[in-house]
Amino acid sequence: MTMIPRLLHVALVVVLVIFGGFPVYWMASTALSTNAELYNTGQSAGLQLQNLPSLLSELSKVPLLRWLTNTSIVALGTTVLSLTLGALAGYALSRFRFRGKGIIGFLLFMTQVVPEALILVPLYAMFISLGLLNSLWGLVLANVGFSLPVAAFIIKGAIDAVPYEIEEAAAVDNCPRFGVLTMVILPIIAPSLAAAAIIAFFAGWNEYLFAATFLMDNTMWPASVGLASFIGQYETPLSAVMGAALIFSLPAVVFFLIIQRKIVAGITSGAVKG
Amino acid sequence: MTDISTGAARSLPQRARKSRFSAKAVLPYIFILPPVMYLAVFMFWPLARQIYLSFTKTRLINPSRSQFIGLDNYDRLLASPDFYSALHITVVYSVMAVVLGVALGTIAALALNRPFPGRTIVRAVLLFGWAVPNVAASLVWLWIFNERSGVLNRIVTGLGLDSVPWLTTTHMALPSVLLVTVWQVAPFVMLVMLAALQSVPEEVREAARIDNADKLNIFRAVTLPHVMPTLQLVSLLVAVWSIRRFDIIYLLTGGGPIGSTSTLIVKLRQTAFENHDLGLASAYGVIGLILALSVATIHALFNRHRAKRSMQ
Amino acid sequence: MPQITLGNIRKSFGSSTVIPDFSAQIEDGEFLVLLGPSGCGKSTLLRMIAGLSDISGGDLRFDGTAVNEWTPSQRGVAFVFQSYALYPHMTVRENIAFPLIMDAFQKWYHIPVVNSVMRWKLMRRPDIAERTDHIARQLELTPMMDRRPANLSGGQRQRVALARSLVRDPSLYLLDEPLSNLDAKLRTQMRSEISALHKRVKKTFIYVTHDQVEAMTMATKIIVMNKGEIQQIGTPDEIYANPANTFVARFVGAPPMNLLNVRQHGTVLSLDGGAEWTHPGILPTKQASLGIRPENLNLRPEGEGLIPIEVSLVERLGAETLLGCRMVSKAASETLLGEDLIFVRVQGNPQIEASARFGLSYAADDVRWYDQTSGQAVTVCDNSPLSRCA
């Protein structure tokens, strides 16, 4: 706003950048510090890139690769299942009128109000009987409940913007009913689909509560649980912890920055209409 | 059926005779049923179970042996000071998260709504708090808050003050958790508000300028009404997220010290997995859900009111 | 090759009926234009023929077989949409080949990766590739085969839409106001291209438009519609020369047919305000409106002719000039009679200025009569043995 005098504006931006960026900068700075600095002499404010080799050797002691593999499996599973089911729901909500549509839309919205902790225990009990406890697939199934509705809303919003005549053209062109969705509609809304995929992927990537509860075996741990296990323990050097946290954060930051605008559109349309 | 195909239909499959009306009525359900079934099994059935559990006496050790006890858990809840403390903390935490997060996010959006060199980079940096995963955020904030060697206390002692036990005293823990919450929430508010600000129609603003309105008046008469619905929506989202937030509070303080950061949801997990009392834990959760739902309902009523007013 | 029969077709959306009862027969190879104002139900009718909208009542028959329940693809029709409805994510080549690929589509191609592979392979199958290229050449799309619709001009998109409907060689072409998104010049060009196409493929075309010029220039048969009902069926010439009612008379022709609410006293006709003249022919047996095309009115010097007029509007179009005229009563010269202008079409540019005065004359043969209450055409019968009247 031009009503803020120029200097004040600059000062405001600087303060915001420091508040917003400092923790991430500090993660990097800590990762590149030596233990002596961290615990005794005091951490330097700069990025000591010369410490990168020692950071890498310390990181090799952390089973980061295995954790990230587990995390990727969970995140990918969550993405594929959320998008498949979300595309079906989004298409039906956008294109058809049917009994119960209003209720289904409301229930989808409801899931965003339900705290994860609230369904934790019954899911736990269910997974015991299904043999899904201590399994990455169980985790996927739990995560999808929350990311499916988000994907459905984003996809519905995108399909709403596709002219119906294109579907009619496909019908005239002898395209099978299901093919209209997979060969015509979904490719047209590919950008929104990508945004929904990224949201679902990082919902799975970041998820902590279910993973911490359902996975007993630490070879199954995804990175979120593995990293959280560093809290309150002293064996792992702090620089390695911060290095691992940074590596864990990096993909999320990059992809969220790429799709930021899509997320806004998805959330405002989805939640307003929900 | 022999010479029909000499007509317009190039090749007529046998199923052409099947009535299209019934197929048409079924079609939406073929699409909507899989996702709905999925949610029924993995979302709403557990939710119903949990609500049911709140009316039972159930121990985590043997969850299948539960005993229906009516409203006893809620009686216990209403009689326990822990509950009032958790409710109070939840409300304070959520209200403060909305007020501070939305205020800071909106200010940031206003600051970024005019071009300046490096705006794209600034915008990206300001979004870090929103994009960094909870667990990683907790780790770095724990280190920043560290009482002995954390950077905050090094600044505080450098200024000649006593070091502050950020997360370990009852009166500082909640504000510290709120600081991290605002760091995570404000970027999201900024993102949404920025989009709203940029969609303010330029012609209306220009019309106001031609009508000789000054900048403050333009903001009040044109910009603010335009972004108001978005502001309300984003406040609702932040409120609901704050009521359901678990990760960041649990990882930063575990609900402590002495329950000073135990919101209803943190209390839910504690009661279930530390006290093994599933019935009471469920009651905590149900209250949390009711709280979140009432916020959403109030928002919906507001929306309807506004829609009605704009119709008139 | 189908003969299409529409038997008592009805269409309603909820409680509102768009088309109450529509019956017509469309012969093979015809270029039928459904002409009417917007909202008259012509597009709805076309969509029902295509199978894109349900038929609420009545029978749609292709060569006698009821096809009400058939899907669009079973009916084997081509449909060109007003918005073209091209697939924005496909290239021109993929757009044109899409119907052919769908014809060769097997159920198991739905499997995600298989789908892409098989569609890629089908695109390159010799017969499909050959057919696609052939159609593209015909419509001069060859240089832009690898572009996407977003990078094409309006006329090019229109041709891609035509190519996509042509490629499967359907026996019935349905076109829903295909030219309304084009500018005037391109519209004229596409009009002749579509006409040429119809002559070349010799298939049935059903073409929906609200533009009477398109109808007159392309149709072999026109159905004029209003409020879901047929006003007239006929060739362009018939419809122009003998409008069946005042709606058609006003809708077809620019400017429309002049309709004068005359009163009869013996062989004398009069208009409100005093204009009176003797009709040069036989009059209908009861009171009727007089209808006459602008080109059938002749200018005479002031004082001659049947009806005295004053020119109040001149539109010089180059090859012809349109005069909007008001009647001058015999008594008071300044009195303007009636609200509607009488339009007169004269050849070339005779340099007539507004407020010039003339007399109008006409030949009795060029006059059409319409019932003043029902608006239906009234036939005038003389007593000659060669009369067309019964």
Q: What percentage of chain B has pLDDT greater than the value 70?
A: 91
pLDDT single digits (tens) B288-298: 999 999 988 88
Over 90: is that where the pLDDT of B149 sits? Answer: no
Q: Helix H segments across chain B?
A: 20-39, 45-53, 72-79, 81-112, 119-126, 128-131, 134-145, 151-158, 170-198, 202-210, 215-218, 224-244, 247-253, 264-273, 278-311
Going by pLDDT thresholds of 50, 70 and 90, the confidence category of residue B23 is low
CB-CB under 8 Å, C62 with B7: yes
C258 by DSSP, 3-state: which?
Answer: strand
Give the CATH number of the domain where residue B231 resides.
1.10.3720.10
What is the CATH superfamily name and number for domain C4-250? P-loop containing nucleotide triphosphate hydrolases (3.40.50.300)
Name residue, tokens 């299904």: A130
Shortest Cα distance from C69 to chain B (angstroms)?
6
Q: Is A45's Cβ below 8 Å from some Cβ in C?
A: no
In CATH, the number for domain C258-378 is 2.40.50.140
- What is the largest distance, in Å, between two alpha-carbon atoms of chain B? 100
Percentage above 90 pLDDT, chain A: 38
**Residue C1's pLDDT is what?**
53
When pLDDT is cut at 50, 70 and 90, the band that residue A192 belongs to is confident
Give the Cα separation of C181 and C158 in Å (integer): 9
- Tally Cβ neighbours within 10 Å of residue B114: 12
Q: Does A253 touch chain C (CB under 8 A)?
A: no
CB count within 10 Å of CB C59 equals 16
Can you give the pLDDT at residue B157?
86
The closest of A182, A169, A162 to C95, measured between CA atoms, is A169
**Domain ranges within chain C, ordered by starting residue:** 4-250, 258-378
Residue A270 has pLDDT above 60, yes or no: no
Inter-chain residue contact C76 with B20, CB threshold 8 Å: no
Tell me the fold of A62-273.
MetI-like fold (1.10.3720)
Q: Is B216 part of any domain?
A: yes
For residue B198, pLDDT beyond 80? yes
pLDDT of residue A14: 93
pLDDT, position B5: 35
Q: What Å distances lie between residue B168 and A211, B142, B262, C33, C66, CA to CA? A: 27, 11, 13, 83, 81
Question: Cα(C256)–Cα(C251) distance, rounded to whole angstroms?
Answer: 7
**Is the omega angle on the peptide bond into residue C255 within 30 degrees of 0, that is, cis?**
yes
Check A12 against B111: CB less than 8 A apart: yes
Instruction: Out of A210-219, A244-253, B206-215, pick the least confident.
Output: B206-215
Q: Which residues of C touch B14 (CB under 8 A)?
A: none
How far off is chain B from A57, nearest CA to CA, in Å? 20
Radius of gyration for chain A, computed over Cα atoms and rounded to the nearest angstrom: 23
Q: Which of B9, B18, B21 sits opposite C76 (nearest CB)?
A: B9
Interface membership of A125 toward C (CB under 8 Å): no
Tell if the CB–CB gap between C52 and A171 is shorter than 8 Å: yes
Q: CB-based contact (8 Å) between B310 and chain C?
A: no
Decide if C67 and B6 are in contact by the 8 Å CB cutoff. no
Q: Is residue B23 part of a domain?
A: no
CA distance C46 to chain A (A): 13
Nearest to B43 by CA among A78, A141, A131, A214: A141
Question: How far apart, in whole angstroms, are the C-alpha atoms of residue B112 and residue B107?
Answer: 9
Distance CA A200, CA C350 (A): 76
Q: Is the dihedral angle over the CA atoms A211, A216, A217, A218 positive or is it negative?
A: positive
- Listed by start position, the domains of chain A span 6-58, 62-273
Report field, pTM of the whole predicted structure over 0.95: no
> What confidence score (pLDDT) does residue A93 get?
92
Whole-number Å distance between alpha carbons of B242 and A213 = 21
pLDDT at B114 over 90: no
Least confident of A142-151, B100-109, B149-158: B149-158
Tell the residue number behind the tokens 């080109």, with chain if given. C295
On whether any CB of chain A is under 8 Å from the CB of C19, the answer is: no
Q: Which residue of C has its CA nearest to A189?
A: C89
Phi/psi of residue C42, nearest 5 degrees: -70, -40
B93, B132, B134, B156: best mutation site toward chain A, by most A Cβ within 10 Å? B132
Q: Are C40 and C28 in contact (CB under 8 A)?
A: no
* Count of structural domains, chain B: 1
**Inter-chain residue contact A248 with B124, CB threshold 8 Å:** no
* Residue C172 to chain B, least CA–CA distance (Å): 7
Q: How far apart are CA C210 and CA C285, in angstroms?
A: 35
Structural domain boundaries, residue B249: 82-311
Contact with chain C for residue A169, Cβ under 8 A: yes
- In tens, the pLDDT along B252-309 reads 998 878 888 888 899 898 888 888 888 898 999 999 999 999 988 888 888 777 777 7
Contacts of C50 in chain A (CB under 8 A): 172
B residues 14..53 contacting C (CB < 8 A): 16-21
Q: Inform me whether the pLDDT recorded for B18 exceeds 80.
A: no
Distances (CA, A) of C310 to A88, C273, C292, C337, C363: 69, 15, 18, 11, 20
Contacts of B21 in chain C (CB under 8 A): 54, 69
Q: What is the pLDDT along chain C (390 residues), one digit of tens a residue?
A: 578 999 999 998 888 888 999 999 999 999 999 999 988 889 999 999 999 988 998 999 998 889 888 888 888 888 999 888 999 999 999 999 999 999 888 888 888 888 888 888 888 899 999 999 999 998 889 999 999 999 998 889 989 998 998 888 888 899 999 888 888 888 888 898 899 989 988 889 999 999 989 999 999 999 999 998 999 999 999 999 999 999 999 899 888 899 888 888 888 888 776 678 888 888 887 888 889 999 999 988 888 888 888 888 889 988 899 998 887 755 444 445 445 788 999 998 888 888 888 888 898 888 899 988 888 888 877 666 665 554
Considering the domain boundaries, does residue B44 fall inside one? no
